[in-house]
Amino acid sequence: MKHLGSHHRYYEAVIIDGSGGVFGSGKITCRWYNMPFVQKIVASGQEVCVYGKVKDVKGRLIIDHPEFEVLRDVDEESIHLERIVPIYKNISGISQRRLREIIHLLLCQIEPATLELSCVLNNVLTKVVAYRDVHFPEAIDSAKAARRQFALEEFFLLQLNVVWRRSRYREQTGRELGKRTAYLKQFYASLPFDFTGAQKRSIKEILVDLRSQRPMNRLLQGDVGSGKTFVAMATMLLAIDSGCQAALMAPTQILAEQHYLTFKQWLDPLGIKIALRTGNRNEVNHLEFQGEPQIIIGTHALLYDPVSFRDLGLVVIDEQHKFGVAQRASLIKQGIVPDVLVMTATPIPRTLTMTIYGDLDVSLLDEKPPGRGKIITAIRVAAKQTDVTKFVKDQLNQGRQAYLVYPLVEVSETLKAESATEAYGKWQKRLGNQAVGLIHGKLRPEEKEMVMRRFREGEIAALVSTTVIEVGVDVPNASVMILHHAERFGLAQLHQLRGRIGRGGHKGFCVLLTDGKNPESMEKLKVLEQYSDGFEIAEADLRLRGPGDVLGAMQSGLSDLRFADFLADTVLLREARTLAEQVLAEDPNLDGEHQRLRTMIDDSENYSERPGVA
C-alpha cells in the first residue's frame, strides 16, 4: 500500500508475464486508488487475469483500476472468464464483479412459474431463456436475439397504448366541416404561385378528415420552408367557411406575431377577421372591424386569458412539441370536439414516426416551394475574426442582412464561449455605419417585438442573436448566418437555425465557426455541410447519437425506454404495431385475458408526454 498525501492511498500490484515478455518488459503494474480492500483479494503468488487500458508512465506499463479475476482451480467454472460477460451500469457501492454474481445467482433460481408475462408475445419458457441469454449468453447472436425479443415486448405495449388511445379518440363524434370551399378557392386564386404537390396532397388529406364525423387528429410534418403555414391557412379557411372559429397557438410571441402578419397579408383581401392574443398584446377586443374574430392567433395566452370563443371548431398547434399535454388539452377543451391539426418543423427520422406520432394521422410535406435561394453551408475551423467580418461586410454592402448567432446570452464562468451580449458591442464597432441589433430570450416581449420589426423592415442590417430566432422568423432578405461555437448546438437545432436564411430569392450562406478540437462535433457539422434535407439530417442524427438521445431531446417521455436502440428497427416496430392492432381487433375493450394490459395502459406515465395526445 502506497500513500499520496494524507488522504489518498493506492494499492499497487506488479504482474509478471510468465511467457517471457508479452508486455515487452515482461511485467505490468496495476493500481487501485482508495480501494484498500483490493490487497485482501490480490496477493503474491496468485495467477490473475486483468483487463483495462494500458498507459506508459516513464517506461512503466500501468493499468489503473483494471477489471481482474483471480484464477483458482482449473475445474472451477467462472462466470467472469472465458465467456461472454455482461457489463452493467455502475451502481454505487457494488462492483461489476459482485453485481454480475448476484444477477447470475438470481437467474439460476428463476422458475418459469415465477414469471408474470407483461404481454401476449411469448410463453413463459421462452421468456426464461431470453432472460438468461440477455445476461449470460452462449453467443453474441443469442444475446441480440433475446434483447430484440424484449424490445418487441416493450414496443408492443407502447403501440398498444397508441392504438388504444387512437381508437378511443375516434369513437368520439365530431362535426362535418369543409363542405363549403368558397374561401379556399378565393385564397388559391389570389396566390401568385402554385401549391407544391405535397401541399395539395396534404390539403386533400385534411379535407377528408374535416368532412368526416370523426374528429381530425392529424400531424402536418414538414422541413424548414416546406410551406406548412399555407396548408394551415387553407385548413382554417375550410373551417371558418363552415361557420365556426379557428385558433392557432404558437410557442413564442415572435412566432405568433409572424403568423399574424402573414395571415393578415394574405387573408385581409378576403375580408377574414383575424385577431392576435399574446401575453403582451391584445387585439381581440380592439379590432378594426365589428363582430367576432374568425381566426385567433396567439401564444399560451390563449389558455390563461379569457378569450370568447363562440364556436371553436378547429385548433392548430404549431411546433406542438414545445407545449405540454395539459396546455394542448386546455385549448382543445375550449371547443366542442374540435378538429385538431398539429404541426412541427422538426424533421423526425421516418423510422421513428410510427412510434412518436403513432396515434395521429400524418401528412408529410416533402417538397419545397420554388423561389427559395440556394444555401451554401461551410465549416470554418479557427477562422480569423478579420476574415469573418470582411465576409459579413461584403454581404451587407450588397444589400443583404445577417444573423450572428451565439450559444449564450451572457458571459458564463463555466463555459468558454463568447456570449451574444458581449459580442453585440464588438459587432457594432466592426460593422461601423451598419445598424446592429441584439435579441435574446431574456429581453422583455415588447423589446423583442421592436427588434424583430426593425430587422424585418431593414432598419437593422445585422442581428446578434441566441437561438430565440430558431423557429418561425421569416425575413426574406436575410441571407447570411454566422454560427459561433457551432459545436455547442445540436444537429437538428443547427438545421432549424439555418432555415432562417434563403427564404427569399437570394443565395444564402451559413458559416459554422468551430475550434475543431472535438472529432465527434466535427462529424456532426460535416453532416450539415453535406445535407440540406431535414429528413436526411434526422437520419444522420439517429446514426450518430442513437434513438434514445434523439428521442430524449424531443420528448422526455420516450427517453426512458429500456431498448431504445431498437427504435431504428422498422421491421420490429411494424411487427409490434401489427400485434397491437390484432389484440385490439380481437378484444376492442381489452376485457377478459387482456384486462391487465388495459390497466397498464391506463396507468402509463410515459404516454402523457408524447405529442398530439390530449
A 10 A CB-CB count for 50 gives 15
Q: What is the pLDDT of residue 211?
A: 95
> Which among 452, 293, 479 is positioned nearest to 375, based on CA atoms?
479
Mean pLDDT of 293-310: 82
Q: Are 248 and 188 a contacting pair, CB within 8 Å?
A: no
Matching CATH number, 375-532, of 3.40.50.300, 1.10.3720.10, 3.40.50.720, 3.30.479.30: 3.40.50.300
Q: Residue 285 — very low, low, confident or very high, per pLDDT cuts 50/70/90?
A: very low
User: Dmax over Cα atoms in the chain, in whole Å?
Assistant: 97
Which of the pair, 525 or 505, is modelled with greater confidence?
525
Which DSSP helix (H) or strand (E) runs through 108? helix 96-109
Q: Are 351 and 542 a contacting pair, CB within 8 Å?
A: yes
Domain spans, the chain: 2-76, 182-365, 375-532
Mean pLDDT of 408-434: 88
Identify which of 205-214, 335-344, 499-508 has the greatest average pLDDT.
205-214
Q: Are 259 and 239 a contacting pair, CB within 8 Å?
A: no
Look over the chain and give the mean of its residue pLDDT values, rounded to a whole number: 83
Joined together, the cell numbers standing for residue 572 give 420490429
As a whole number of angstroms, the distance between CA 459 and CA 370 comes to 28
> Which among 144, 146, 153 is positioned nearest to 117, based on CA atoms?
153
As a whole number of angstroms, the distance between CA 474 and CA 501 comes to 8
Joined together, the cell numbers standing for residue 423 give 459580442
Q: What is the pLDDT of residue 75?
A: 52
pTM: 0.70
Could you tell me how far CA 603 lies from the centroid of its own chain? 25
CATH number of 182-365: 3.40.50.300
Q: Residue 534 — very low, low, confident or very high, per pLDDT cuts 50/70/90?
A: confident
Q: What is the pLDDT of residue 565?
A: 76
Q: Are 424 and 403 a contacting pair, CB within 8 Å?
A: no
Strands 312-317 and 67-71: unpaired
Which of the pair, 545 or 16, is modelled with greater confidence?
16
pLDDT, tens digit, 9 for 90 and up, residues 350-402: 667 777 677 788 898 988 887 777 899 999 999 999 999 999 999 999 999 99
Q: Residue 313 — very low, low, confident or very high, per pLDDT cuts 50/70/90?
A: very high
Q: What is the pLDDT of residue 87?
A: 83
| Percent of residues, the chain, with pLDDT higher than 70 | 83
pLDDT, tens digit, 9 for 90 and up, residues 562-579: 887 787 777 888 888 888
pLDDT, tens digit, 9 for 90 and up, residues 203-237: 999 999 999 999 998 999 888 888 999 999 999 99
pLDDT at 553 over 60: no
pLDDT at 594 over 80: no
- 182-365 and 375-532 in the same fold: yes
3-state secondary structure of 405: strand
Q: What is the pLDDT of residue 293?
A: 93
> Which among 293, 213, 229 is positioned nearest to 266, based on CA atoms?
229
| Backbone φ and ψ of 276, nearest 5° | -120, 135
As a whole number of angstroms, the distance between CA 463 and CA 455 comes to 7
Strands 217-222 and 339-344: parallel
> Which among 574, 557, 587, 576 is positioned nearest to 167, based on CA atoms?
587
Joined together, the cell numbers standing for residue 393 give 461586410
pLDDT, tens digit, 9 for 90 and up, residues 8-49: 678 889 988 765 554 556 789 999 988 888 888 888 888 888
